[in-house]
A and B are shown apart, each in its own frame.
Chain A
């Protein structure tokens, strides 16, 4: 397994608040985007995805927003819980099986 990275951008939120994690992507041809959650000692775990023909998709407590004009992706977590503490990665792909990951954001939830 892996310990969480020490020098990642960090977002600290209070339990119960909403969290917004942002990601910029570079390839305007990317057509599929995924958010992953990585907890300490575990591999990336799928949270939610969105295709380029959509600008918003909702899951359970999570929403992904896609702005293709500025090549920006965000993950919104409602009513953040301690169990949401992890490193979050966005990933993109453009017609291939190869995922291109962002650098990750560490989410810390405090009581």
Chain B
């Protein structure tokens, strides 16, 4: 079974540019999450999709971030315009059911996208 895949693995852009990160969850997983780890600090929640709907976007830092999940399959996270403080690692995770219900072993993370804004 293929895991959660993220693309690109690394992205280096200049301040003010736009970057789009992509996440392909495990097939059949309705829940898709975005998290990020900035400057080696803790991993922070960004948002949660259930199929194509945003269930919780309370972690999105500001309106420069836009997440979509058209058709309820893959998701994109766009940062426009990027700022220096956006640098970090962006993780995507997916699960068939919410982790609080069935267990953390059902939540699978991708390898992340390392974003560097110069």
Contacts and interface: CB of A to CB of B under 8 A. Distances in A.
Contact of B103 (A31, A49, A102, A104): A49
Interface stretch (A12-20, A37-45, A69-77, A78-86): A37-45
Given A32-B100, A34-B104, A49-B103, A96 B56 contact: yes
B112 to A, nearest CB: 5
B93 interface: yes
B99 A93 contact: yes
Interface of A is mostly: loop
B4 A43 contact: yes
Interface residues of B, number: 33
B12 interface: no
Contact of A100 (B45, B93, B99, B110): B45
B96 interface: no
B57 to A, nearest CB: 11
Contact of A43 (B41, B58, B103, B112): B112
A49 B111 CA distance: 21
Contacts of A45: 109
A110 interface: no
Contacts of B98: 97
A99 B56 CA distance: 12
Interface string B93-118: 10000111001110101111010000
A45 B112 CA distance: 12
A13 B4 CA distance: 32
B37 interface: yes
Interface of A: 1-3, 5-8, 31-32, 34, 36, 41-46, 49, 89, 91, 93, 95-104
Interface of B: 4, 9-10, 31, 33, 35, 37, 40-45, 48, 55-56, 58-59, 89, 91, 93, 98-100, 103-105, 107, 109-112, 114
Given A2-B37, A36-B109, A44-B91, 6 more contacts: A1-B111, A43-B111, A44-B43, A97-B48, A103-B42, A104-B42
What are the 10 tightest A-B residue pairs by CB atom distance, in nearest-first order?
Answer: A43-B109, A5-B40, A34-B104, A101-B43, A2-B89, A49-B104, A97-B98, A103-B42, A98-B45, A1-B111
